[in-house]
Structure 1
Amino acid sequence: MPNAVASAVRGGGNMVYAIFSASVLLAIGAIYAGAVGWLYFRQERLLFEPDPLPADEPICADPDAREFFVDVPGARLSVAHMALPNPRGVFFFLHGNSGNLKKWFVELDAFRQANFDVVMFDYRGFGKSTGQIESEEQLHGDVLAVWKHFEATYAGKRVVISGQSLGTGLAAGLAAQLCSDGHAPDLTLLVSPYSSMQALAAELYPWVPIQVLRYPLHTLERAAKLLGPVMLIHGEKDELIPIHHSETLCKSMRTAQLLRVTGAGHSDVHQFPTVRQALASALGRL
């Protein structure tokens, strides 16, 4: 009889433990599912850090610069354009995931010396641009719309399509589109690029299913379609987007060159003299 009681007690204890364990696992599962769901619906706030500007605040005081809007479905995109009297070409630049044109549309003298116009625009919700980013397809559509606004102006002239950080995936997408249309850029320049946003997210957040990411931005896939010279610039100390992303991209393209910037991180790479010299040299060769 005592043995039977002891067995019953042990059995009851095991059952309590099993129920407790199941409850803990269910709670963890619910928390995980909730976190993943939150990421799915709120990822724009994590991926994009727009910095709005008042409508009456000037973007740039450069005498050759002007600002205006390009209308797209559901928004007006703020565009900055440095237009020289008789340019050799245009530098079409897509900026990173934060700030606005007031931060990015600067240091124009290098382009003036190379006799290149410069075009940049703010994504939806950035600077003076209206609307909000809702999908990767929308982003690519906005980039193409702004380019189409200038395409005829620079027909027959040199074209450089460039992007930095977030903008590299968009720049690669536009350059690939131009290549497929028979108008390959004279140079595609990617600064601190990622092989894909999906791959980068898997490195930074390995616990998140990649299917959750609605902005995969497959730079590597588009890079394979690029024709003509490609230059990659990457800081060797970049911890946000490690340099192996550029190494992967470089291996996938026969015409690509990778400039490894010693001592540079992610946000300061463009400030290094080697990068400025490389840019001036690349523009001078076109």
Structure 2
Amino acid sequence: MPAWLHTVIWIIAIYIVISILLYYLQDFFLFKPEKLPKEFKFYYDNQVVEEYNLETRDGAVINGLHFKTKNPKGVVLYLKGNSKSIKGWGKFAVDFTRHNYDVIMVDYRGFGKSIGKRSQKALKRDLQYVYNKIRERVSEKYIILYGRSMGSGFATKLASMNHPKMLILDAPYYSLTKVTGRYMPFMPLSILLKYPMPTYKWLKYVNCPVHIIHGTNDKLIPFKSSVKLSEIKPKITRLYPIIGGGHKNMNTFESYHKVLEEIILGEEKPIDLSTTSIGVKHSYKK
């Protein structure tokens, strides 16, 4: 056997082995869960919070928290990122309760106290189940979907299938295939990835107002991904850049909280374009 052919065979074999490992180990790379014992008690200063558990039709248990306010204006379903548990993510609830919005947070399967076999289909089904439970008690016109990082894809999917008041995407990805492709451009991720999470496809079917918040210095999910997403439904979408914001520190920027307040409390008014410069043509006298 020629030496070059022997080398090619080895390269192909190594490529196949890497592909197999990537397929079976991708949960380990994509998800960084923190598991909590059943007896763990959640506590947050100056917050009224109630814990709940929902059992799904396949026997999984979804653990969540309900942060409560007096005379709430509505409810925010907050879908977190791919790490830790709602134990730590719960601190962000105050960004909404301070505006008199209740907040619902859940742990995905395998996170915190939630249990069950994880798959993209199962996660989407779980979150729709949670959404259904919310709208049994609250009209959809009072429901805000907020998706952070990994949760932005799930929030978009929910918005595409339901009729919430608005969709807020915090550091969203165009698709997980695109994100992971930055690190493994030589791998056939469109085939191997069990969680492609095509946010851009789901966004096409969203009809509520869409607000995208993204740090311009995000090294994990580039700001340009939000620019591309904002171009899908431009008439109902607004993009809010947080200058200098990274992927994990946007809540430390005053501009982030100003933007969030504007989104939650602001009332968008239609513009009479006939009174603007949009239709004015340059003219001159001879």
User: When the two structures are superposed, what TM-score results if normalisation uses the length of structure 1?
Assistant: 0.88
8 Å CA contact 1:55–1:128 kept in 2: the answer is: yes
- Mapped pair 1:218 → 2:202: no
Q: What is the aligned partner in structure 1 of residue 2 from structure 2?
A: 19
Q: Name the counterpart of 1:235.
A: 215
Give a deviation string over 1:245-264, Cα, whole Å, max 9, x none.
10000011121111111111
- The Cα of 1:30 is off from its aligned counterpart by 0.7
Counterparts of 1:18-167 in structure 2 under 5 Å? 19-61=2-44, 62-72=46-56, 73-133=58-118, 135-155=119-139, 158-167=142-151
3-state SS of 1:108 partner: helix
Per-residue Cα deviation, 1:44-83 (whole angstroms, up to 9, x for no partner): 1111111101211222335421111011123111110012
Cα distance in 2 between the residues matched to 1:71 and 1:228:
29
Q: Is the 8 A contact 2:81 2:150 kept in 1?
A: yes
* 1:267 to 2:248 alignment: yes
1:137 Cα deviation from its structure 2 partner: 0.9
The change in CA–CA distance for 1:231 and 1:63 in structure 2 (over 3 A counts) is closer
| Mapped contact 1:235–1:266 kept (Cα < 8 A) | yes
Letter in 2 for 1:81: H
1:160–1:187 contact (8 Å) kept in structure 2: yes
Look up the equivalent residue of 1:25 and give its one-letter code. Answer: V
Q: Give the Cα separation in 2 of the matches to 1:120 and 1:172.
A: 16
Query: Is the Cα contact below 8 Å between 1:122 and 1:129 reproduced in 2?
Result: yes
Matched ranges for 1:162-173 at <5 A: 162-173=146-157
CA distance in 2 between partners of 1:91 and 1:101 (Å): 15
Stretches of structure 2 that go unaligned for 5 or more consecutive residues are 268-286
| Deviation, structure 1 residue 132 | 3.2
The 1:244–1:99 alpha-carbon spacing in structure 2 relative to 1, beyond 3 Å, is: same
Given that 2:78 and 2:145 are in contact with CA atoms closer than 8 Å, whether structure 1 keeps it comes out as yes
Task: Report the alpha carbon displacement of residue 88 of structure 1 after superposing the two structures with TM.
Answer: 0.9
Aligned CA-pair RMSD: 1.5
Contact 2:140 2:164 in 1 (8 A): no
Contact 1:50 1:126 in 2 (8 A): yes
**1:26 Cα deviation (Å)?**
0.9
1:34–1:130 Cα change, 3 Å: same
For the residues of structure 2 that align with 1:40 and 1:116, how far apart are their CA atoms? 40
Contact 1:175 1:185 in 2 (8 A): yes
8 Å Cα contact 1:66-1:80 kept in structure 2? yes
Find 2:184's aligned residue among 189, 195, 205. Answer: 205
Closer/same/farther in 2, CA of residues 68 and 163 from structure 1, 3 Å limit: same
Structure 1 gap ranges (5+): 1-17, 179-183
1:13 maps to none
Which segment drifts farther, 95-104 or 105-114?
A: 105-114
TM-score normalised according to structure 2 size: 0.88
| 1:110 positional shift | 3.1
Give aligned-pair identity as a percent: 30
How many Å apart are 1:156 and its aligned residue?
6.0
Structure 1 contact 60–105 (Cα < 8 Å) conserved = no
1:65–1:83: 8 Å Cα contact kept in structure 2? Answer: yes
Cα contact 2:33–2:112 (8 A) shared by 1: yes
SS in structure 2 at match of 1:21: helix
- Provide the rounded CA distance (Å) in 2 between the counterparts of 1:20 and 1:67: 64
Contact 1:233 1:258 in 2 (8 A): yes
In the comparison of the two structures, how many residue pairs are matched? 263
| Pairwise CA distance, 1:109 | 3.2
Counterpart CA distance in 2 for 1:108 and 1:102 is 11
Deviations 1:127-180 (A, max 9, x none): 1111231x21111001111111211111265111011111000000001110xx
Q: Does 1:190 align with 2:175?
A: no
Matched residue type, 1:214: K
Q: 1:128 to 1:91 in 2, by over 3 A?
A: same
Q: Is the 8 A contact 1:111 1:118 kept in 2?
A: yes
Structure with the greater alpha carbon radius of gyration: 1
